[in-house]
């Protein structure tokens, strides 16, 4: 399971990052909830309820301080929330997750694009190739042209599964790369320095 919980630092998010790759292995069930299977999590004196949905998204559904024997006990409260149909994610929660996935995807793609570019800069003259996030074919080549270091970047118009990429996504990635290597002279191209490459759109960034 992939783990992307953003950049917010919090003890509960730290714990989720730790367990998410193998959840629910190693976690105990909350016995007061028969169905669906909800698991317990602990951070200091607080207890949490986690649920792994059918898409393998791990949700932290609720958190409360543990007070054994009290009517306010965390696990009793989780059961009350579930009985009231307020524990598991709602339709609005799922819609928000889908919207935030766009931001997570952009963060993953730009991070891997920057890594690919930095690798090409360290290996001038060698074309570096990768599928960003495992599905977006991308190539970067750095060449010396008359004292100007040129960064050529090509992004395929089709993903590795054959689906066509939205032009807006490529434009955002090219703009992010320009900012990453700034200051640079940016130019959209329809060629490639080592020969024709089909199904790619490319840019050239000149660094002095």
The domain of 83 spans: 11-89
83 shares its domain with 33: yes
Q: How many domains does the chain have?
A: 2
35 shares its domain with 80: yes
Considering only CA atoms, which of 93, 192, 183 is closest in space to residue 152?
192
202 shares its domain with 127: yes
3-state SS, residue 160: coil
106 shares its domain with 185: yes
Of 33, 59, 89, the one marking the end of a domain is 89
42 shares its domain with 63: yes
80 shares its domain with 115: no
> How far apart are the C-alpha atoms of 43 and 65, rounded to whole Å?
9
Q: Which two tokens mark 112?
A: 């891997």
182 shares its domain with 147: yes
pTM of the model: 0.67
Instruction: Identify whether the C-beta of residue 50 lies closer than 8 Å to the C-beta of residue 23.
Output: yes
> How far apart are the C-alpha atoms of 64 and 81, rounded to whole Å?
12
44 shares its domain with 110: no
Residue 3 in any domain: the answer is: no
* Element housing 73 (H / E): none
Q: Which residue has the tokens 């958190």?
A: 63
Of 37, 58, 89, the one marking the end of a domain is 89
Buried-exposed string 198-208: b where 16+ CB fall within 10 A, e elsewhere: eebbbbbbeee
Residue 1 in any domain: the answer is: no
HSE-CB at 193 with a 13 A cutoff on CA atoms is 17
Say if residue 81 is exposed, middle or buried (CB neighbours under 10 Å; 0-12, 13-18, 19+): middle
145 shares its domain with 185: yes
pLDDT in 10s for each residue of the chain, 208 residues: 444 555 678 899 999 999 999 999 999 999 989 999 999 999 998 999 999 998 888 999 999 987 766 656 899 899 999 999 999 999 998 888 887 888 889 999 999 999 999 999 999 999 999 999 999 999 999 998 877 899 999 999 999 999 999 999 999 999 999 999 988 899 999 899 999 889 999 999 997 6
Residue 75 in any domain: the answer is: yes
Give, as one character, the DSSP assignment of residue 10: -
85 shares its domain with 27: yes
106 shares its domain with 201: yes
Phi, psi of 84 (to 5 degrees): -90, 5
Long-range contacts of 125-131 (CB under 8 A, 24+ apart): 127/194, 131/160
């Amino acid at each position: 399971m992939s783990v992307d919980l953003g950049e917010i630092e919090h003890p509960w998010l730290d714990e989720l990052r730790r367990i998410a790759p193998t959840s629910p292995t190693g976690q105990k069930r909350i016995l007061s909830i028969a169905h669906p299977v909800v698991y317990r999590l602990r951070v200091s004196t607080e207890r949490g309820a986690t649920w792994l949905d059918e898409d393998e998204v791990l949700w932290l559904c609720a958190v409360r301080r543990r007070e054994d024997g009290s009517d306010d006990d965390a696990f009793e409260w989780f059961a009350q929330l579930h009985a009231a149909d307020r524990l598991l994610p709602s339709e609005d929660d799922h819609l928000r997750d889908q919207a935030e996935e766009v931001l997570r995807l952009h963060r993953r793609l730009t991070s891997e694009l920057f890594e690919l570019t930095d690798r090409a800069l360290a290996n001038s003259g060698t074309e570096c190739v990768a599928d960003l996030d495992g599905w977006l074919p991308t190539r970067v080549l750095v060449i010396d042209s008359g004292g100007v270091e040129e960064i050529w970047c090509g992004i395929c118009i089709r993903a590795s599964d054959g689906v066509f990429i939205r032009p807006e996504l490529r434009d955002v990635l090219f703009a992010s790369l320009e900012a990453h290597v700034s200051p640079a002279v940016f130019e959209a191209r329809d060629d490639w320095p080592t020969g024709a490459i089909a199904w790619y759109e490319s840019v050239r960034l000149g660094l002095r």
